[in-house]
């Protein structure tokens, strides 16, 4: 016998709850950067900031908390300056490598 399941009975997935340490954060960012979607990068930084504490990241980055939420929502396109300040505040740095090295 099949049991009907209502999708609304499932808890909402929160990526921030799965980012428990630096290794999780680095791997998550690596995968998002590999995908190459700038909107996903903003969302990923938002999840990481939430995991680390949005208020603390806002203070460390010098960006008001409300502006940080707005800049790091899914499919937003924050300025490079904002991304750099958030990365510094969360303790990661984005680096470049030759595309021919990754193949």
Q: Does residue 38 fall inside a structural domain?
A: yes
Please indicate, yes or no, if residue 14 is contained in any of the structural domains: no
CA atoms within 13 A on the CB side of 98: 3
Q: Provide the residue range defining the domain that includes 56.
A: 19-102
- CA–CA distance, 44 with 80 (Å, rounded to integer): 15
Joined together, the tokens standing for residue 52 give: 């680390």
What is the pTM (predicted TM-score) of this model?
Answer: 0.81
Number of domains the chain is built from: 1
pLDDT tens track for 34-93: 988 878 999 999 999 999 999 999 999 999 999 999 999 988 999 999 999 999 999 999
Q: Is residue 90 part of a domain?
A: yes
């Amino acid at each position: 016998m099949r049991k009907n399941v209502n999708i609304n009975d499932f808890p909402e997935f929160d990526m921030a709850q799965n980012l428990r340490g630096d290794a999780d954060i680095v791997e998550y960012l690596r995968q998002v950067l590999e995908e190459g979607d700038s909107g996903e990068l903003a969302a990923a930084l938002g999840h990481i900031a939430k995991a680390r504490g949005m208020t603390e990241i806002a203070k460390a980055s010098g960006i008001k908390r409300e502006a940080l939420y707005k800049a790091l929502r899914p499919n937003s396109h924050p300025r490079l300056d904002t991304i750099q300040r958030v990365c510094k505040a969360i303790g990661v740095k984005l680096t470049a490598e030759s595309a021919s090295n990754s193949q």
